[in-house]
């Protein structure tokens, strides 16, 4: 994102997951966001006002009577680029579904003309209750982005759906929603994103792999969720929190990724092949290969199938839209452009995203430089920007083709 920092209004309601909101503030600040916290009275029973003030560097909105001279809830709503409520309790969602504005946060949500993201957190029985389900459906129909909660450990020994997603993922989605604004939506579209790097086992403890961390794929998935898409992440050996609001399928090898993406692509509107997929595999040994003095094992590499080219070959009527990635060790911009153009033609995809990975400088980092080359001949250079912004640019390319 360029220009001024994105302004995030973080709303906190009265659930036990409110303690995680402090980490959400920290993550948003790490992304360069300007954060204002608005807390309901019940949220203050879980976390003290001073905590949010110290982390955000700004006063916390706790009452309709604050900032009376500027009508605090009005000015706060108008200053925000996105409203993120994390956690959003069942009670809070019921109140805003009814159009109530009986505290400062619900008034801000009712005022908001920017994207509103709700991250529900509650016990499983409350999340599955018919009243909650009806309210979620209604809020989504009104254009709010209501994320699916994670499944996992809840209060006490309970476990199930209702857990607040990881703070980092919530911050990423809020950042992407602020960047996207009212632009091209992916609502009602299914986007499949592969991420990470495959591993090809050559004995029970060793494998052939690569340096991919999955951060680029997860950034694209976050941007797609922020635009309202149904997102499936096919994660190959990724050690990152799941993308909030997305469904994650974990795979290990080229064969597993190929099977998963082929199946998910059948009903997809777009497939983004951001994973670093092995070009070669090797017949795996059943037992660990022992080290022998003076000798080294010989690996007989076998070329793997080209998953992206296969999807392009088998698709019908131009669907799904296919986005490929090309990791090149080529620092010269024109040479990189030629390689990207060659891959775009060879793969048969719609868009190729190429980047120079000389020295492995981009792996595991949150920023990158890329060339986005479209089959229509247009190209976009993005120099040293956050991967979340690159993810937004990729989603814009998808949305423009779909629209």
Could you list the pLDDT tens digit for every one of the 403 residues in the chain? 457 899 999 999 999 999 999 999 999 999 999 999 999 999 999 999 999 999 999 999 998 776 666 656 788 889 999 999 999 999 999 999 999 999 999 999 999 999 999 999 999 999 999 999 999 999 999 999 999 999 988 887 888 899 999 999 999 999 999 998 666 799 999 999 999 999 999 989 999 998 899 999 999 999 999 999 999 999 999 999 999 999 999 999 999 999 999 999 999 999 999 999 999 999 888 888 888 888 888 888 999 999 999 999 988 776 899 999 988 777 777 888 888 899 899 999 999 999 877 766 677 688 998 999 999 888 999 988 999 999 999 999 999 999 8
- At 141 the pLDDT is 95
Alpha-carbon distance of 95 to 113, in angstroms, equals 18
- d(CA 228, CA 245) in angstroms, rounded, equals 9
Q: In what order do the strands lie in the sheet with 145-146?
A: 34-39, 7-12, 82-88, 116-120, 145-146
Helix (H) or strand (E) holding 388: helix 387-402
Phi/psi at 311 (nearest 5 deg)? -65, -40
Residue with the two structure tokens 């050996």: 237
Contacts of 122 by beta carbon, 8 Å cutoff, 6+ apart = 15, 87, 89, 90, 132, 149, 162
Nearest to 368 by CA among 323, 307, 325, 321: 325
Task: State the pLDDT at residue 72.
Answer: 66
Residue 181 has what pLDDT?
65
Q: Which residues are catalytic?
A: 210
The pLDDT of residue 1 is 44
- Give me the pLDDT at residue 70, please: 64
Predicted local distance difference test score (pLDDT) of residue 291: 86
Q: Where are the beta strands (DSSP E) in 263-376?
A: 270-273, 280-281, 302-303, 321-328, 351-356, 367-374
| Residue 100: both structure tokens together | 């109530």
Give the pLDDT confidence score for residue 69 in this predicted structure: 66
Residue 61: CA count within 13 A, CB half-sphere:
27
Q: Are 205 and 285 in contact (CB under 8 A)?
A: no
Q: How far is CA 223 from CA 9, 162, 227, 280, in A?
A: 18, 23, 6, 31
Left (φ > 0), alpha (ψ -120 to 50) or beta: where does 244 sit? beta
What is the model's pLDDT at position 361?
63
Q: How far is CA 40 from the centre of its chain?
A: 27
Cα–Cα–Cα angle for 346, 351, 354, rounded to 5 degrees: 80
Ordered domains of the chain (ranges, CATH):
7-179 (3.40.50.1950), 185-402 (3.40.50.10300)
With tokens 């982390």, the residue in question is 55
Nearest CA among 304, 205, 181, 215 for reference residue 253: 304
- From 152, 230, 150, 237, select the one nearest 199 (Cα to Cα): 237
Q: Retrieve residue 189's tokens.
A: 């579209």
């Amino acid at each position: 994102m360029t220009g001024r920092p994105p302004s995030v209004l973080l709303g906190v309601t009265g659930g036990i997951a409110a303690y995680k909101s402090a980490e959400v503030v920290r993550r948003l600040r790490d992304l360069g966001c300007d954060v204002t916290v608005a807390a309901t009275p019940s949220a203050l029973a879980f976390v003290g006002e001073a905590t949010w003030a110290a982390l955000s560097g700004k006063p916390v909105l706790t009452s309709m009577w604050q900032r009376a001279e500027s009508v605090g809830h009005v000015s706060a709503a108008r200053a925000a680029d996105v409203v993120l409520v994390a956690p959003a309790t069942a009670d809070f969602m019921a109140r805003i579904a009814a159009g109530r504005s009986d505290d400062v946060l619900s008034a801000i949500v009712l005022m908001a003309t920017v994207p509103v993201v709700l991250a529900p957190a509650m016990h499983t029985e409350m999340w599955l209750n018919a009243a909650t389900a009806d309210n979620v459906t209604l809020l989504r129909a009104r254009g709010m982005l209501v994320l699916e909660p994670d499944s996992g450990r809840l209060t006490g020994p309970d476990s199930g759906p209702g857990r607040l997603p990881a703070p980092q993922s919530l911050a990423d989605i809020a950042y992407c929603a602020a960047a996207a604004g009212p632009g091209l939506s992916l609502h009602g579209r299914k986007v499949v994103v592969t991420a990470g790097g495959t591993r090809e086992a050559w004995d029970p403890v060793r494998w052939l792999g690569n340096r991919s961390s999955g951060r680029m794929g997860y950034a694209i998935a976050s941007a797609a969720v922020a635009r309202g898409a149904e997102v499936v992440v096919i994660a190959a050996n990724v050690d990152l929190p799941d993308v909030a609001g997305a469904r994650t399928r974990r795979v290990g090898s080229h064969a597993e990724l190929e099977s998963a993406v082929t199946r998910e692509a059948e009903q997809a509107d777009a497939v983004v092949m951001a994973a670093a997929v092995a070009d070669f595999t090797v017949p795996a040994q059943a037992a660990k290969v022992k080290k022998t003095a003076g000798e080294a094992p010989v690996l007989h590499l076998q070329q793997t199938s080209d998953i992206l080219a296969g999807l392009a070959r088998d698709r019908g009527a131009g669907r799904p839209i296919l986005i490929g990635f090309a990791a090149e060790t080529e620092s010269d911009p024109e040479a990189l452009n030629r390689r990207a153009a060659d891959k775009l033609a060879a793969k048969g995809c719609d868009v190729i995203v190429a980047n120079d990975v000389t020295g492995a400088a981009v792996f595991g980092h949150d920023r990158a430089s890329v060339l986005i080359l479209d089959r229509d001949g247009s190209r976009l250079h993005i120099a040293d920007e956050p991967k979340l912004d690159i993810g937004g640019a990729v989603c814009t390319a998808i949305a423009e083709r779909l629209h």
